[in-house]
Structure formats: structure tokens, C-alpha cells
């Protein structure tokens, strides 16, 4: 089990990243907050020894993605369609800037992950493959398909601007 | 790698309030888990199961009660023996027994050694008067073992005890009946005979009498000496050892 100091440091260091990942996958602010807390509970209770801060971050990403997946496949979420818009999630931005974000949110889960990890977190394809525990080629394929879908939605290559 | 479009995403961040809430939640949740009684109950239940299984099926034979020797003169008590014929417990049936025997360290000793300790004890000897009667009874889960103990005790008593005495071995029913009245099986057997001869006597009225007194009562009622021979044995009618002592 981790110490209180380790927990505080992890929340401070990786809190924003976890919140973004939750935001990408979940439709309700309440769910986002729940998963955020559960991820850190798992972290606190884990006996896993991390080699580095990057190692810790990769572990948290994987746990968060899995927790979001579990949340979305729960009976409640399969039966009940809930959705908060960006305003409900306290995101205020010019409409044109929201366009990319809104489009990414519409992507399938696996595409969202690779786009976020590659473009926002700056991970390489190989690193993403390790984090998501899939083949590198799979990551490349997902990336290509995600970009194609975004192009279709936005009418241009916003990602490469 | 981030272009301008991603700047919107920068705004998605964990508020200080969420961070503090999370910190409190995680630490409290952990306290709740620590107070969770499921784990201790689970451990306790597991322990009980292991304990029960151990005592039901796997108890070493040396700590199971296997044979019983009761002695009555008027101190009345029972030596509980394990399968190796060592004393594992002493049950006192009256205060006199407790007062006389409590200082003797008999636990873990072989029954013959325990008998020596008892019969050579100064206080116990004060009860072994000429008009006293020493009644010894033996019960064992194993019939052969009972016969063997009875034989050994009889031989020992014949050699070392000068007052009238008797060693018999009793059956399981007599043993259980005696225990239900919290008395030795030897004494119970005699009382049972008195009650059978005269129903006005009650078991509980007689349980505090000495063996000599009980025999006198029986003689008064029936005008016969009490003969326990053949009545409380398991099949073999030649397992009763009676010795009237030198003075009888």
C-alpha cells in the first residue's frame, strides 16, 4: 500500500491527466469524478513498485482506461443514455476550438485513446502499444482510422495544424 | 506536439476541490476497509473450522479421554486417562477430594504412578481406616484396555491397601448415568443397587455418603453383603476383583 505522501504526489502530478482521460470516455461529470477517485483508491491500495514516474503514469493510464471501460459496460450505462455537454463539464472555449474536442469525443474508445496519448501526451506508437497492451501495428491502424474519421467530421487535418 | 486545437483540452483538469475530495475519499475508504469486520470474521470462521476439524478428526490420541478410573472412600474423584494411560485430568466429585488431592501433581503421570501418589498421601491415608471401604471403578472405550487397567489396579490395591476394597469395571451406560448425577461410576453403581432394593432412597440423597455408609445401608435393607459381581461388566462375568482386606 502506498503512503499518504505518495498518494498526494500522484494526485498532484497525474490528476489532470486522469481527469482528461475520464472526460474522453465518460458522459457524466458524476462518473468522471467517481472514476477519478476509484483510480486513486486502486493506486493507494496497490503494492506495485514503480520504477519511475513515467512507469507510474503509464500504470495510471491503463487503470483509468480499464475503469472507464468497466463503467461504460455496466448495466446502468448500457440501459440508460446519459449525456452532459461540455458546459456541464465546465469547459468553456471558443466554438471552433471545441470542434476538435467534440469530434474526438465522438470517436470509438480505442481511437480516442491513441489520439489522446499520441497527440496530447506525446507518447510514441511503441509506448502506446505497451500501455494499451496491444501490437504496435494495431496502434498505427487505430491512429490512421481515427484521423480519417476526424477528417471526415472536421473537413480538414486539424491534428497536424 | 500539441497544436492550438488541443488548448481546449488543457482546460479539462482536476480542480483542487476534486483533488482534496479524492484524497479524503481514498484515505477514509481505507479506514473503512480497516474497520471492515468481514475479514476478521472470515479469519475467525476459518479458525473455528480448523479447530473443529482438528478436535473432531485429527486430535492426537494422547489428548483424547480414553479411560476413566474412579475412586471412592469418601473423597470421591475420577482420573481421566488418555490413550497412553496417562492422567490428563482429575475430576473432583466432592470437596474432600479436592482438598486432599489438589496438592498432588498427577497430570501427565501414568495411572499406577498416580495411584501411588494418592495412596501414599498423608491426608488420603487418614480416610483409610479399618471401617472404611475403597471402591474403585474402571471404564474404557476399549474393553480389553478396561480389563487390563482393572487387573493392574486390583493387583496394586491387593498389594498396597489393607482396608476392604473392590475394583470393578463398569459399562458405558453406568458411566454416563454416573456422570449425569456428577458422581463416580463406582459410587453410582452401589447407589443404584440401594435404590433398586428400596425405592424410598433417592440417588441425590445418597451421593454424599461414604462407601462404607452406603454398604451399611444396603446391608440394612437387604440383610446381605453388597455384591457387585457380574452386574456391570461388559460380557465377561469374571472381571470383578474384590478384596476384603486382612481384617475382614
Supply the ipTM of this predicted assembly. Answer: 0.81
Least confident piece of the model among A73-87, A141-155, B192-206: A73-87
Nearest-CA distance A31 → chain B (Å): 13
pLDDT in tens, A28-72: 778 888 899 999 999 998 888 888 888 899 999 999 999 988 887
Question: Does pLDDT of A73 surpass 80?
Answer: no
User: Residue B49 has what pLDDT?
Assistant: 80
3-state helix, strand, coil in chain B (%, to 5): 50, 15, 35
The cell for B244 is 476384603
Which of B11, B12, B26 is opposite residue A44, by nearest beta carbon?
Answer: B26
Q: Confidence band (pLDDT; 50, 70, 90) for A25?
A: confident
3-state secondary structure B96-148: HHHHHHCCCCCCCCEHHHHHHHHHCCHHHHCCCCCCCCEEEEEEECCHHHHHH
User: Residue B4 has what pLDDT?
Assistant: 63
Residue B110 backbone phi and psi in degrees, to 5? -65, 155
Q: Is the model more confident about B228 or about A20?
A: A20
B14 touches A36 (CB < 8 A): yes
The cell for A49 is 513498485
Asked whether the CA dihedral A157, A161, B3, B4 is positive or negative, the reply is: negative
- Give B36's contacts in chain A (Cβ within 8 Å): none
Average pLDDT, chain A: 82
Is this model's pTM higher than 0.90 or not? no
Residue A3 carries which DSSP code? -
Asked whether the CA dihedral A84, A86, A87, A89 is positive or negative, the reply is: positive
N residues, chain B = 248
CA distance A113 to A124: 13
Interchain contact, A36 vs B22, CB within 8 Å: yes
User: Residue A160 has what pLDDT?
Assistant: 61
Question: Does pLDDT of A158 surpass 60?
Answer: yes
Identify the CA nearest to B173 among candidates B232, B226, B216, B225. Answer: B232
Mutate to test the interface with B, among A97, A124, A153 (most CBs of B within 10 A): A97
Identify the CA nearest to B204 among candidates B231, B171, B176, B182. Answer: B182
Report the interhelical angle of A53-72 vs A4-25 (nearest 10°): 50
A97-126: average pLDDT? 86
- Give A23's contacts in chain B (Cβ within 8 Å): 12
User: Residue B248 has what pLDDT?
Assistant: 37
Per-position pLDDT tens, chain B of length 248: 456 667 777 878 888 888 898 988 888 876 555 455 556 667 777 777 877 776 666 555 556 789 999 999 989 999 999 988 999 999 999 888 988 888 888 999 999 999 999 999 999 989 988 888 899 999 999 888 999 999 999 999 998 888 988 898 898 888 888 888 888 998 898 898 899 888 888 888 888 888 888 989 988 888 888 876 544 443 333 334 555 544 33
Amino acid at each position: 500500500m502506498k503512503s499518504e505522501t505518495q498518494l498526494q504526489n500522484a494526485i498532484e502530478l497525474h490528476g489532470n491527466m486522469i481527469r482528461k482521460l475520464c472526460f474522453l470516455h465518460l458522459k457524466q461529470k458524476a462518473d468522471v469524478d467517481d472514476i477519478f477517485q476509484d483510480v486513486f483508491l486502486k493506486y493507494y491500495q496497490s503494492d506495485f513498485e514503480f520504477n519511475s514516474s513515467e512507469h507510474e503514469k503509464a500504470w495510471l493510464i491503463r487503470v483509468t482506461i480499464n475503469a472507464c471501460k468497466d463503467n461504460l459496460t455496466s448495466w446502468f450505462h448500457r440501459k440508460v443514455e446519459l449525456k452532459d455537454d461540455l458546459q456541464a463539464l465546465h469547459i468553456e472555449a471558443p466554438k471552433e476550438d471545441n470542434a476538435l474536442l467534440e469530434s474526438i469525443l465522438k470517436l470509438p474508445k480505442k481511437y480516442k485513446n491513441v489520439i489522446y496519448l499520441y497527440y496530447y501526451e506525446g507518447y510514441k506508437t511503441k509506448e502506446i502499444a505497451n500501455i494499451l497492451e496491444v501490437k504496435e501495428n494495431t496502434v498505427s491502424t487505430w491512429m490512421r482510422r481515427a484521423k480519417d474519421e476526424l477528417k471526415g467530421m472536421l473537413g480538414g487535418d486539424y491534428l497536424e495544424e | 506536439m500539441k497544436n492550438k486545437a488541443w488548448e481546449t483540452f488543457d482546460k479539462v483538469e482536476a480542480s483542487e476541490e476534486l483533488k482534496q475530495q479524492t484524497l479524503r475519499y481514498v484515505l477514509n475508504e481505507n479506514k473503512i476497509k480497516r474497520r471492515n469486520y468481514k475479514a476478521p470474521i472470515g479469519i475467525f470462521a476459518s479458525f473455528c473450522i480448523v479447530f473443529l476439524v482438528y478436535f473432531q478428526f485429527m486430535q492426537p490420541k494422547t489428548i483424547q479421554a480414553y479411560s476413566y478410573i474412579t475412586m471412592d472412600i469418601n473423597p470421591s474423584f475420577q482420573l481421566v486417562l488418555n490413550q497412553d494411560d496417562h492422567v490428563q485430568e482429575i475430576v473432583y466429585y466432592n470437596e474432600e477430594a479436592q482438598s486432599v488431592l489438589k496438592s498432588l501433581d498427577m497430570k501427565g503421570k501414568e495411572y499406577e504412578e498416580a495411584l501411588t501418589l494418592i495412596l501414599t498421601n498423608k491426608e488420603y491415608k487418614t480416610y483409610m481406616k479399618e471401617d472404611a471401604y475403597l471402591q474403585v471403578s474402571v471404564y474404557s472405550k476399549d474393553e480389553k484396555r478396561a480389563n487390563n487397567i482393572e487387573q493392574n489396579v486390583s493387583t496394586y490395591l491387593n498389594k498396597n491397601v489393607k482396608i476392604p476394597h473392590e475394583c470393578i469395571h463398569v459399562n458405558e451406560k453406568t458411566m454416563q448415568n454416573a456422570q449425569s448425577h456428577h458422581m463416580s461410576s463406582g459410587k453410582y453403581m452401589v447407589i443404584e443397587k440401594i435404590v433398586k432394593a428400596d425405592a424410598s432412597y433417592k440417588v441425590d440423597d445418597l451421593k454424599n455418603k461414604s462407601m462404607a455408609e452406603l454398604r451399611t445401608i444396603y446391608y440394612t435393607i437387604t440383610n446381605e453383603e453388597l455384591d457387585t459381581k457380574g452386574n456391570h461388566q461388559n460380557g465377561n462375568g469374571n472381571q470383578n476383583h474384590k478384596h476384603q482386606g486382612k481384617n475382614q
